[in-house]
Amino acid sequence: MFTLALSDEERLIQDTARRFARDRLLPGLRAHERARGVPRELVGEFAALGLTAGEDLGAFARVLVLEELAAVDAGAALALDAGGLAQPLLDAAGLGAARGRGVVIEDVEGRFHARDGRLAGEHPWVPADEIAVAVVLHPERALIVREGWRLTPIAACGLEAAGASRLVLDDAPIAATLEDPRALGRARAGIRTAVGALLVGAARGTHEYAMRYATERTAFGRPIAHHQALAFLIADLATAVDIARLAVWRAAAALDRGESAEWEGASALAEAAEQALFVGPNAVQILGGHGFMKDHPVEKSMRDIRTLAQMAGGRDEAELAAAALVTERELGFAGRGDRCP
């Protein structure tokens, strides 16, 4: 019979990440944004906790960590996460843990071309100022490069603490190519699930902030949360966050069970993006004029969510992937005693 409980170890991981985010990321929120990164000692401190992408945590524990970090600062979460989204592909290719930041580019528009073991092309935005590895995803292969890029800093909509650059590959030597469909499918599902977890965190953080504000700020003689128009919105935002989280949890659990998880991963990102994009602007709305100002973090979360939802092909690629799988998707329980329907 199904259960939705976290194990003691998972709770510990969650608490550890939550405490780190509150104690170490929150105080420097705007400073990290301005500095386009988190201080090196914080990166080291977080790595010492053993919660980065390079560790063998499993997908489920990872989504717990990413949600907690992103609930405070999704950009910083990327900056702290070492190989980050690229790590599942490095693992699949047997390349081990990244020695620095990694980025993944879903080459939707065909900007990159491989020839004679080298990769050339350019991409308008990656959420990093310095990287150790880049992965370019084509429909049927992943191309991994570990050198041969030029990164030009740019300004981005959100996730500033992660950095932001235009990336150019000048005949970069291809370190590895991943073509096994199953491994590629699982890696993509892992990436989408991780982005989904960041979206859940960002949405939760900004919803909690707006909800607190709404109980303190008064208008027409009562807390604005007690006006039904906002009370209903707050209820819907809370539901949105929970829906997104459950979808992400389900995908992560499927990954950890060794399933292909392509449908679950694509659905998780599509769902998390949709729900977070609903939450982000509405959290600003709840704060009204104050929400638009940099004095509160909700404007940052709104930008972060918009930016996150573009990552790794974003919502569109996730929805297309799900649509490609849907006609074979059985939603019923028949013969599913052991599996997640």
Partner 1 sequence: MIDLSIGRDLEAQLEQVRRLGREHLRPLGIEADSRREPVPPDHPFFALAWRMGLGQPLGVEERPASGPRSGARRGVVLAEEMSYWDRGMSVAMPGLGLGGPPLLSMGTPEQKERFLAPFRDRERPHWAAFGMTEPGAGSDVAAIQTTAVRTGDDWVLNGAKTFISNSMRADWIVVWATVDRGAGRAGHRAFVVERGTPGLEDMRYEHKMGLIAYESSSFTLRDCRVPAANLLGGERYYAERAGFKGAMRSFNATRPAIAAMAVGIARAAYDAARDFARTHYALDRPIPRYQRVRDKLARMARKIEAGRLLCWRAAYLADLEQPNEIEASMAKAFAAGMAQEATGLAVEILGDAGVTRDAYVEKLYRDVKAMDIVEGTGQIQRIVIARRLVGLPR
Residues that bind partner 1 (CB under 8 A): 1-7, 10, 58, 60, 211, 214-215, 223, 225-226, 228, 231-232, 234-236, 238-239, 242-243, 246-247, 249-250, 252-253, 256, 267, 270-271, 319, 322-327, 329, 331-341
Nearer to partner 1, 152 or 239 (CB): 239
Q: How would you classify the pairing of strands 149-153 and 133-138?
A: unpaired
C-alpha to C-alpha distance for 90 and 187, rounded to whole angstroms: 9
Smallest gap from Cβ 234 to partner 1, in A, equals: 6
Please, what sign has the CA dihedral across residues 312, 153, 49, 5? negative
Hey, what's the torsion of the CAs at 204, 252, 162, 102, to 10 degrees? 180
List the beta bridge partners of residue 150: 168
Hey, what's the torsion of the CAs at 261, 266, 272, 274, to 10 degrees? -160
Token pair of 109 as six digits: 């528009």
Hey, what's the torsion of the CAs at 301, 99, 168, 300, to 10 degrees? 10
Smallest gap from Cβ 321 to partner 1, in A, equals: 9
Smallest gap from Cβ 99 to partner 1, in A, equals: 29
Nearer to partner 1, 120 or 211 (CB): 211
Nearer to partner 1, 2 or 220 (CB): 2
* Residue (of 326, 205, 305, 196) closest to 250 by Cα position: 196
Name the DSSP letter for residue 179.
-
Smallest gap from Cβ 333 to partner 1, in A, equals: 5
Q: How would you classify the pairing of strands 133-138 and 102-106?
A: parallel
Smallest gap from Cβ 325 to partner 1, in A, equals: 8
Smallest gap from Cβ 101 to partner 1, in A, equals: 28
Smallest gap from Cβ 327 to partner 1, in A, equals: 6
Residues in the chain: 341
Q: Are 132 and 99 in contact (CB under 8 A)?
A: yes
* Residue (of 121, 119, 75) closest to 101 by Cα position: 75
Hey, what's the torsion of the CAs at 14, 18, 19, 24, to 10 degrees? 140
Token pair of 326 as six digits: 């849907």
Smallest gap from Cβ 271 to partner 1, in A, equals: 6
C-alpha to C-alpha distance for 315 and 237, rounded to whole angstroms: 19
Nearer to partner 1, 115 or 333 (CB): 333
Hey, what's the torsion of the CAs at 84, 323, 303, 242, to 10 degrees? -80
